[in-house]
Each structure stands twice: as C-alpha cells, then as structure tokens.
C-alpha cells in the first residue's frame, strides 16, 4: 500500500498525529479531522445446502482459475452484509437464498499486493430456494451441489470452503450467530445485529 501524501478529504499535505497510542498519518491541525486508520475490507462466503450436498462454484478468473469454492465476494461499503452474500449467491450461482446464521469468520492481517491491508471474511449458512445452479461462464465457469465424497474426487476444492461446509454439516441450522430482531440498534437503518439465539434450534 503506497503511503498517503495528501489528505483524501481536503487535499492538504498530511502529517502525523498521536492517536489511540500510536502515530498515525493525519491531516494537519489547520485542515480537516482526517486520520488514516488503515485499510479494511469485508468479504463473505455462503454455505448453501441441497440435502447432503453443498453449493460450489468454479472460478473463471485468476487467481486460481478452475478452482472450486463456496460462492462469495466483497461486501460493498454501503451494503448490508446479509444482502451482500445473498447477492453473491444469486450472481455467481443463480440461486435465491437467505441468510440463516454465521458459521465462522477469518481475520487476515496483510493481504495481496495492492489489496486491502486487513480483511474479515465471514462465512454464512443460507437457506436456498429450490432450483438448479446457473452461472455466467465468465467469472464463474461451473456451479453445482456436491457431496463431500464428490468433493474428495474434485481437483482444487478450496480448503476454507470445505472447512466451512463440514462445520455447517455438523451443527444445527440456526446454531450460529443469527440476525437479532431485538437489541441495541437492531432496527436502525443500515445496522444489523448478529447474536447467539438463546431460543434457537438446539
């Protein structure tokens, strides 16, 4: 990540400022209040079952063209996280699905060259409407529901995808963090609260 020289908000030459116990790139005192806290991104993946089979898509683009993985992608900065993964499942696999619960997440410091410095990748379990997967034959060159046995005979199934699928198979749907209807900020536009559900399916 190239270091910032000019304030992205007001254009002044940036300086540094002590904030929260460390020196950070910041706008000077006579400028705006901008402080550079670093770069973050949010990704999401979807575990979607049809009986004992899980949905996988095959990458059409590099890196890892030809590899199979659960559908997913980056959440837009102004997009509800549940909506973003439902959108990705529809875009990549032609399946209409809705978020049931969160299976797990990965926090990764670092990232690719030019990529975000820190990423959170959230894996959700989704309930799907029946239907055959469809794909664009460009970004995605294959899609289908596969059993674990079938996956064992496929080349290049992403390990994180298999991990999430096996976890979801071994835990009841709704056993993870679910969208909370009540709680601080639960009804506020743009806010979504995920929480353990004490009344959820055991």
**Residues engaged in binding Zn ion (CB under 5 A):** 7, 9-10, 27, 31-32, 34
C-alpha closest to that of 183 among 195, 201, 175, 174: 195
Please, which residue, 25 or 32, has the CB nearer to Zn ion?
32
The whole-angstrom separation of Cα 142 and Cα 118 is 29
Please, which residue, 31 or 111, has the CB nearer to Zn ion?
31
To Zn ion, the closest distance from the beta carbon of 28 in angstroms equals 8
To Zn ion, the closest distance from the beta carbon of 22 in angstroms equals 19
The whole-angstrom separation of Cα 39 and Cα 118 is 6
To Zn ion, the closest distance from the beta carbon of 1 in angstroms equals 19
Please, which residue, 32 or 173, has the CB nearer to Zn ion?
32
Please, which residue, 10 or 134, has the CB nearer to Zn ion?
10
To Zn ion, the closest distance from the beta carbon of 24 in angstroms equals 13
Pairing of strands 194-195, 178-179: antiparallel
Pairing of strands 40-50, 22-26: unpaired
Cα-flanking dihedrals φ and ψ of residue 23, to 5°?
Answer: -75, 130
To Zn ion, the closest distance from the beta carbon of 6 in angstroms equals 9
C-alpha closest to that of 71 among 151, 147, 160: 160
Cβ(91)–Cβ(134) below 8 Å: no
Please, which residue, 5 or 137, has the CB nearer to Zn ion?
5
The whole-angstrom separation of Cα 71 and Cα 196 is 24
Please, which residue, 3 or 155, has the CB nearer to Zn ion?
3
To Zn ion, the closest distance from the beta carbon of 33 in angstroms equals 7
C-alpha closest to that of 17 among 5, 1, 2, 34: 34
């Amino acid at each position: 990540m190239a270091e910032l020289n000019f304030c992205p908000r007001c254009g002044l030459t940036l300086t540094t400022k002590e904030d929260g116990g460390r020196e950070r790139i910041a706008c000077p005192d006579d400028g705006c209040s901008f402080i550079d806290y670093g770069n973050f991104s949010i990704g999401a993946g979807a575990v979607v079952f049809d009986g004992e089979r899980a949905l996988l898509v095959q990458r059409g683009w590099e890196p890892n063209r030809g590899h199979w993985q659960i559908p997913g992608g980056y959440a837009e900065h102004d997009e509800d996280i549940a909506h973003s993964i439902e959108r990705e499942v529809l875009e990549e696999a032609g399946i209409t699905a809705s978020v049931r619960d969160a299976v797990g997440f990965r926090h990764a410091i670092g990232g690719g060259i030019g990529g975000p410095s820190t990423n959170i990748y959230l894996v959700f379990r989704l309930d799907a409407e029946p239907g055959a997967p469809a794909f664009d034959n460009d970004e995605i060159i294959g899609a289908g529901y596969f059993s674990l046995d079938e996956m064992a005979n496929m080349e290049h199934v992403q390990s994180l995808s298999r991990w999430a699928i096996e976890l979801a198979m071994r835990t009841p749907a709704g056993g993870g963090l679910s969208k909370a209807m009540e709680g601080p900020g639960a009804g506020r536009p743009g806010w979504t609260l995920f929480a353990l559900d004490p009344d959820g399916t055991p």
